[in-house]
Amino acid sequence: MSRPRYRARMLSALALASSLCWGAADFFAGLRSRALPPAAVVAWSQGLALLVLSLALALGRFPSQDGWVGWAVAAGVSGSGALVCFYAALSTGTMGVVAPIASLGVVVPVLLGVATGDQPPVLAWVGMAVAVAGVTLASGPELTGEVSARPLALACVAAVGFGLALYCLDRGARESLVHTLWGMRLTSVTLFVLAGVVLRRAGGVRPAHLPALGAIGVGDLAANGLFAYASSHGIVSVASVLGSLYPVVTVVLARLLLDERLRRVQVMGVATSLLGVAAIALAAAV
């Protein structure tokens, strides 16, 4: 096997690994949020991940420019809010429906690009239409009132927050990926610490919860790092499509471990929305 082909396959494997990390972290965070407040799950998991990233920064040499600071703060605010909404939706709703809806955050960078003068290809618009149609099918019972619509609304808010966070992360990473990730988590942890001081609460987290919360935080951090490395060193379109498959992991885990069943129309909707997300990611990255 030639070296370029081997390199391309390795980078594709890293991008796929990012979707596995994201999907697994989301699933177990959703489970943990059924016993703890979602805000506490985000705060503690992000805080433990911040410790790991700070240690890496202390031991390594990561040159950077000052341009990452503002983007990191913006990513931290939008990303932490999105995670709270997402984990709350996962803890109360059908994971197989919530995860694909939240993955529509990929639409946000496309729309922001349009607002700043970009002209997305036809595939991006087709992908958005397909994804919205899929979400409508997947969330049918929620829209008809047969089950609570709250998880659906939270997932939509999470999608917007994730999209904004990815947009800001991309801009900051052009100066320094590691520093932007660190600043993003420092921002979110600071906000949660301030909230905890004001409310005089720690979210009911006990020492026994810390290993699981740490694993969730490190899983999310690893996913960001794997995806960023694969996209910046390889073919961006391939990395985007593979990275956007993370809802599949959440859906499969919910089916295997929770025996979560979807109605036929929801299965069709989930598959359609994931197809749309993949099309958007491919078009936006080309």
Q: Is 142's pLDDT higher than 90?
A: no
pLDDT bin (cut points 50, 70, 90) of residue 206 is: confident
d(Cα 238, Cα 244) in Å, to the nearest integer? 10
Q: pTM surpassing 0.85?
A: no
User: Considering the chain, what percentage of its residues have pLDDT values greater than 90?
Assistant: 22
Into how many domains does the chain fold? 1
Distance CA 233, CA 78 (A): 26
Query: Residue 144's pLDDT is what?
Result: 56
Query: CB neighbours of 59 closer than 8 A, spacing ≥ 6?
Result: none
Q: Which of 169, 172, 176, 204 is nearest to 80 (CA)?
A: 169
Mean of the pLDDT values across residues 130-149? 66
Q: What is the extent of the structural domain holding 212?
A: 3-285
